[in-house]
Amino acid sequence: MAKSQATFMKKQLEKNRAKKKEDKEQRKLERQQNSNGGKLEDMMAYVNEYGEITSTPPITKNYGR
């Protein structure tokens, strides 16, 4: 009787592991589908001459070139 109980528990544990792995994969796919890209240009921040953080790059001035 102990052998059958041990086998049953092993099957239950394996079933639980498989379900957890499947749920994790599903969450991963949902995150990938809902992500907004993460482009480098979207993540960049610039500091203007007044020390304020802006999303637009500074205007470069070419002095005599």
Domain hosting residue 38, numbered range: 2-54
Q: Has residue 61 been placed in a domain?
A: no
3-59 residue pLDDT tens: 677 899 999 999 999 999 999 999 999 998 987 777 777 788 999 888 999 988 887
Q: Has residue 64 been placed in a domain?
A: no
Q: How confident is the model at residue 64 (pLDDT cuts 50, 70, 90)?
A: low
Q: How confident is the model at residue 63 (pLDDT cuts 50, 70, 90)?
A: low
User: Is 0.85 surpassed by the pTM of this model?
Assistant: no
DSSP one-letter code for 7: H
Number of domains present in the structure of the chain: 1
Buried-state track 1-12, b at ≥16 Cβ within 10 A, e below 16: eeeeeeeeeeee
Token pair in block for residue 16? 């639980």
Q: Where are the beta strands (DSSP E) in 1-65?
A: 46-47, 53-54
Nearest to 2, CA basis, from 10, 58, 33:
10
Q: Has residue 65 been placed in a domain?
A: no
More confident residue, 62 or 42: 42
